[in-house]
Every structure is written in C-alpha cells, then in structure tokens.
Amino acid sequence: MRELANWEPDHYERVLRWPLREALLAFEQKLKREAREDYQQELMRFAIRSPWIAKSSERKPPDPPPILRD
C-alpha cells in the first residue's frame, strides 16, 4: 500500500479503496518500470565497458529481467 501511495500518508486511504485487481496491476507496473530502469542502466554500463573487455565471449550484453520478458 505504501509503495502504491508513494509513501505519502495522505494517499493511504485512497489506495485502500482500490479494488484488489487494480492495486495488483498498479504494483506490477511499478515493478516493471523499476526493472526497466535498472536494465537500462545495466545496458549503459555494458556499453561503456564492452570495448575494453578482452574476450569476445565475455562481451555478451546482460539478459533482461524475467518480469520484462512477458
């Protein structure tokens, strides 16, 4: 509930009135958004490091997290 209300106590009551399905879907979207941001940062780190990786077998980009594979 706190995550969905962005940790703002004034919004807790509003979130509590949401149907369970809506709350779960909103939470899933939040998790996907965070996973996408983390994955983009991983890709940036890989792109920066990859020219200096000696073995071509180690130049494989990171796999997307399971939540983004749907």
Domain segments of the chain as ranges: 9-68
- The single-letter DSSP state of residue 57 is G
pLDDT at 34: 96
**Tokens 């209300």 found at:** 5
pLDDT at 60: 86
Give CA–CA dist 27/11, Å, rounded: 15
Q: What is the pLDDT along the chain (70 residues), one digit of tens a residue?
A: 899 999 999 999 999 999 999 999 999 999 999 999 999 999 999 999 888 887 777 788 899 999 998 6
pLDDT at 52: 85
49's tokens: 């490091």
pLDDT at 16: 94
